[in-house]
């Protein structure tokens, strides 16, 4: 038997196991995208209905055929909604699956649906519609997180906690101010999704395979029917562009970074050495061996999921980096990373919104921690500048000596006797004690965007107005 015949017989180990049918079985499996692109079925039905309505309006297909196809698509959609999309790998993708079922329902007239379009512009349109919806979902999730942050910030506009740099106590701040920092991050995240949505809101439908079509189609009509601002301007770019998916993933990755930072704060705050928060039971787990444990698993998973979302962005960037115009089969791999990132982002937003809303903040522990670590040292330096007219660098040196003395005695700055402070610098008088409390420290930071309770309340009021909570 020849080597060629041996291969056909299936005895060649290369085609063994699950690929016993040979190369055709491998091609069938590697080529099929229906296991994941079935998620596009709603968008595929909507784009097909817009397309056939246009074909009818332009006289490219008869009005009767257009109506029959549209009704058939509604029937297919009803089946998908009721029982899901079937996975026939021989049909490869959601487009062929839908067209095949349409033909079974209405007969040969179904073949007219694909007039003046290609699967290249079809998938580009469907995917844009899906990603556009994902942008809207992310924006809604971020708005809910902002609402939770603003509500808790309003409750704790005057609650004092230590502010950190390098995770070392730096200056007293308010919990409300700290939470509003994450509101600002979420505001920027929403702006990125809004920018991405605006850029992607052009319709590729009608670009066909890569060069457009000779049929007298109306691309503006289909764009309008699908809620796009208008049609794309270049058919080659239309079918090969996945910038919209990358824009979404970039916004998702930045959001995931912010959520991961917030999650990390809750993880640290929940640890016993800090004890700043009691996390909700609904977002915590226990230990299989240590009954005293209450683990911040939801927050840890949010932190971990950030890596997967960033990985999704990297994956698609690498897929797209060397592709020539126009469509290449590599682009079939564009959807799994976007679908995964969107699912993870939805979970992470929901988890952190619930955590912010339901966590108990132990403000007594926070305030006690703020009094440690000489957090009001900068206030002493500022007082020397304001009241004694001392240059800041000199005031900084004097304050350093005071901190060193307090540290050697194991007391707070405001517990040092006046005689000891005056021994360091005679220009210090009893008025200094009014500046050394943590309350005085935060109240003094009343510059725009500062931590003073009045400033926090102002920012909260502005945020509530922006979110429509008033």
Q: Phi and psi dihedrals of 429, rounded to 5? A: -130, -175
Q: Are 453 and 174 spatial neighbours (Cβ–Cβ below 8 Å)? A: yes
Distance of alpha carbon 273 from alpha carbon 365, whole angstroms: 10
**Nearest alpha-carbon partner for 459 in 19, 150, 168, 13:** 150
Q: Per the residue annotation, which of 9, 11, 271, 287 is the catalytic one?
A: 287
- Cβ atoms < 10 Å from Cβ of 92: 17
Q: Phi and psi dihedrals of 285, rounded to 5? A: -135, 170
**Which residues fall within 8 angstroms of residue 43, CB to CB, at 6 or more apart?**
125, 126, 127, 129, 130, 133
- Burial label for 403, CB within 10 Å (0-12, 13-18, 19+), is middle
The SS3 of residue 141 is: helix
Q: Is 287 a catalytic residue?
A: yes
**Which residues fall within 8 angstroms of residue 186, CB to CB, at 6 or more apart?**
142, 145, 146, 149, 255, 258
Q: Is 305 a catalytic residue?
A: no
**Nearest alpha-carbon partner for 131 in 244, 33, 253, 254:** 244
**Nearest alpha-carbon partner for 443 in 434, 453, 456:** 453
Handedness of CA 252, 255, 260, 263 (dihedral sign): negative
Q: Phi and psi dihedrals of 416, rounded to 5? A: -75, 135
Q: Are 8 and 14 spatial neighbours (Cβ–Cβ below 8 Å)? A: no
Q: Are 218 and 54 spatial neighbours (Cβ–Cβ below 8 Å)? A: yes
Q: Are 244 and 199 spatial neighbours (Cβ–Cβ below 8 Å)? A: yes
Residue 431 structure tokens: 């008025």
Distance of alpha carbon 94 from alpha carbon 123, whole angstroms: 9
**Nearest alpha-carbon partner for 177 in 153, 148, 151:** 153
Q: Per the residue annotation, which of 166, 282, 408, 447 is the catalytic one?
A: 166
DSSP annotation of 84: -
Instruction: Provide the annotated active-site residues.
Output: 166, 287
């Amino acid at each position: 038997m020849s080597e060629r015949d041996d291969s056909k017989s299936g005895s060649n180990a290369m085609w063994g196991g699950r690929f016993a049918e040979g190369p055709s079985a491998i091609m069938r499996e590697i080529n099929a995208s229906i296991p994941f692109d079935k998620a596009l079925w709603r968008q595929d039905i909507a784009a097909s209905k817009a397309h056939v309505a246009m074909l009818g309006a332009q006289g490219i297909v008869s009005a009767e055929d257009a109506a029959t196809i549209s009704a058939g698509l509604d029937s297919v959609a009803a089946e998908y909604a009721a029982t899901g999309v079937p996975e026939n790998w021989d049909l490869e993708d959601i487009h062929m699956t839908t067209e095949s079922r349409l033909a079974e329902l209405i007969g040969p007239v179904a073949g007219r649906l694909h007039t003046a379009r290609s699967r290249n512009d079809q998938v580009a349109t469907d995917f844009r519609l899906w990603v556009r919806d994902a942008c809207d979902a992310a924006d809604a999730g971020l708005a809910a997180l902002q609402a939770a942050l603003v509500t808790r910030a309003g409750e704790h506009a005057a609650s004092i906690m230590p502010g950190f740099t390098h995770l070392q106590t730096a200056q007293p701040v308010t919990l409300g101010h700290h939470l509003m920092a994450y509101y600002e991050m979420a505001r920027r995240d929403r702006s990125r999704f809004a920018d991405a949505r605006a850029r992607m809101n052009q319709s590729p439908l009608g670009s066909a395979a890569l060069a457009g079509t000779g049929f007298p189609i109306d691309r503006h009509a289909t764009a309008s029917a699908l809620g796009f601002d208008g049609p794309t301007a270049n058919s080659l770019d239309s079918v090969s562009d996945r910038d919209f998916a990358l824009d979404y993933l970039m916004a998702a990755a930045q959001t995931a970074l912010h959520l991961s930072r917030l999650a990390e704060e809750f993880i640290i705050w929940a640890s016993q050495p800090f004890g700043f928060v009691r996390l909700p039971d609904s977002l915590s787990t226990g230990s299989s061996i240590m009954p005293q444990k209450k683990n911040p698993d939801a927050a840890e998973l949010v932190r971990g999921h950030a890596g997967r979302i960033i990985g999704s962005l990297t994956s698609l960037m690498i897929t797209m980096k060397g592709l020539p115009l126009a469509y290449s089969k590599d682009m079939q791999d564009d959807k799994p990373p976007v679908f995964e990132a969107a699912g993870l982002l939805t979970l992470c937003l929901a988890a952190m919104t619930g955590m912010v809303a339901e966590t108990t903040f132990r403000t007594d522990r926070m305030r006690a921690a703020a009094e440690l670590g000489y957090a009001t040292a900068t206030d002493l330096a500022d007082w020397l500048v304001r009241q004694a007219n001392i240059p800041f660098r000199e005031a900084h040196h004097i304050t350093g000596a005071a901190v060193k003395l307090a540290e050697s005695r194991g007391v707070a700055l405001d517990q040092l006797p006046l005689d000891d402070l005056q021994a360091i610098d005679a220009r210090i008088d009893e008025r200094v004690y009014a500046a050394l409390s943590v309350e005085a420290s935060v109240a003094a930071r009343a510059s725009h965007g500062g931590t003073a309770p009045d400033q926090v309340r102002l920012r909260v009021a502005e945020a509530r107005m922006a979110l429509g909570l008033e």
